[in-house]
Amino acid sequence: MIVQDWKRFHDVLGEKALLLSESIAATTPKAMLRKDYWQLYQSLKNMASGRPEAKGNHGVITAMILDAEGRIQAHLHPADNPMGLPFTPRNRLEQEFYEQAMSTRTPIVLSSDSFSKTGFQEGVVPLFSDQKYLGVVRVRLSIAQLYEKATSTAILILALIFCFVIIGSALGTIVSRRMVKPLTAVTQGLEAVGRGEMTEFSPIPIKERDEIGRLSVTFNQIMAELAEKKMLEEEIAMNEKLVALGRITAGVAHEVNNPLAGLLNCIDTLRKHPNDKDLIDRYLPVIDQGLHRIKEIVHNLLVGLKIEGGDESISIQRIDKLHDLIAAESGDKNIDFIWENNTDQNLHIPGKTEQIVCNLLKNAVEIVADGGTVICNLHQSGPFLIIEVSDNGPGIPSNIRSKLFDPFFTTKPDGTGLGLWIIYRLVQSMEGIIEIKSEEGQGTTFHVAIPVITKKAA
């Protein structure tokens, strides 16, 4: 217990020394650049005078500010350490501390590591101005009070042990009986820890304020903290499950809404023209394709498959069917929809490409105003399928362009922020590339390159 308390107090004192050094270092660079040595000295003096030992604080042994060459800029004892002269260590230990202090570029704590009144803890903070190294601040605190406190505690504990040994020889039976009951409760508590039943722990009743009583108090505190930790872990686990469920729900809603609006427009058109065979022949395949797409998305999400999963290969001709689906998505908007597919008709592409094109086109249709233009251009460049979706919408502000592919980032009031994130993950899963070119007021172009396979006709 003494050793543990000593180490703990020792570390706390080191942190205090470091905090004092940092408080001085906050204003020192400006004063050094101005060569205001009086202010540097006043900073050290005010720091030391604000910690009188009479108030129970640990005394400041020394404090100094050295420049990058090791010359004294200010010292708590200026008579013995004149300003402007190189700092001279008095012994080998001081030389080692000096070298460590001058070589460090991060705040550190130097310790004498001696259990004596002459021990100390020293906080060292390097000084920088515009990333230029200026010097170092050193503040050393005495551990004399810690030594005296630890010594008195050790004497007290040894005296108590001696007294209990003598008393225990006569009252061993009584003491042992008194010890058995609380220790049994402690054992039961430890068994509860092993079983993970922390929330069912009952505190040990405290009848007397002796050693066993204090042990019981400490044990009750430990058990209460462990019980609270267990409850927090359960709450965190539940919250993580709810967050995961929320993401799945948002993803389902986002992906299903992509084709759903177009399907509803198709159905509305057929309802208005039930006897138009051309419309029926045109929209029924679109509806069938959209419904199967929704079924596939919901199935994949519900069974827990990753977005990147799946190696299905489809013909490039299947992408052309998105033209009518997205055109219906525009609703009442008068949009000039330009579709350019200059790829080899024998080209086979990953099935996930369909979802990428659908999402990009849907975003473009939503962003352009009435009378706007959306262009979808597909062509080949070596082993890559190039997809370019352009619009003449308002463009993307430069301050949010780097966040577009972040999950749940959206500028739409009713958006989920998953569309572009899903596109990015799909492209990455196929080892492709996606880029954005946009200027405010000039529109936006998404450029996607995906590896593909060309199958020769038989």
- Cβ atoms within 10 Å of 350's Cβ, excluding its own: 22
Mean pLDDT of the chain: 79
Q: Is residue 334 very low, low, confident or very high in pLDDT (cuts 50, 70, 90)?
A: confident
- Over residues 350-380, the pLDDT tens digits come to 888 888 898 899 888 888 888 889 999 999 9
Contact 115, 7 (CB under 8 A): no
How far is the C-alpha of 441 from the C-alpha of 361, rounded, in Å? 19
pLDDT the model gives residue 305: 43
pLDDT at 200 over 60: no
Say how far apart CA 108 and CA 111 lie, in whole Å.
10
Which pLDDT score, from 0 to 100, does residue 386 have? Answer: 94
Q: How confident is the model at residue 147 (pLDDT cuts 50, 70, 90)?
A: confident
CA-to-CA distance for 329 and 358, rounded, in angstroms? 11
What integer is the mean pLDDT of 391-409? 82
Ordered by where they begin, the domains of the chain are: 2-142 (3.30.450.20), 149-238 (no CATH), 309-458 (3.30.565.10)
Share of the chain above pLDDT 90, in %: 17
Q: Measure the CA dihedral 354/329/337/358, to 10°.
A: -10
57, pLDDT greater than 60: no
3-state secondary structure of 213: helix
pTM of the model: 0.38
110, pLDDT greater than 70: yes
Instruction: Report H helices in 104-210.
Output: 144-195
Looking at residue 53, its pLDDT comes to: 42
Mean pLDDT (whole number) for 311-319: 81
Tell me how far CA of residue 303 lies from CA of 87, 203, 380, 422, in angstroms. Answer: 71, 46, 35, 18
Q: Is the pLDDT of residue 263 over 50?
A: yes
Q: Which residues pair with 340 in a beta bridge?
A: 377
What percent of the chain is helix, strand and coil (3-state, nearest 5)?
55, 20, 30
Q: Which value, in Å, is the radius of gyration of the alpha carbons in the chain?
A: 37
pLDDT bracket for residue 457 (50, 70, 90)? very low
C-alpha span between 123 and 13 (Å, rounded): 9
pLDDT score recorded for residue 180: 56
Return the amino acid letter for 156. L
CB 303 within 8 A of CB 310: no
Nearest to 63 by CA among 84, 36, 41, 85: 41
Contact 344, 409 (CB under 8 A): no
CA 167 to chain centroid: 57
Q: Which of 62-76, 181-195, 252-266, 339-353 has the lowest mean pLDDT?
A: 181-195
Do the bridges between strand 384-391 and strand 453-454 make them parallel or antiparallel, or are there none, so unpaired?
unpaired
- In the predicted structure, residue 7 carries a pLDDT above the cut 70: yes
Work out the average pLDDT over 133-158: 84
pLDDT at 177 over 70: no
Q: How far, in Å, are 189, 202, 293 from residue 221 at the CA level? A: 12, 12, 58
Low-confidence winner among 96-105, 175-184, 418-427 (lowest mean pLDDT) = 175-184
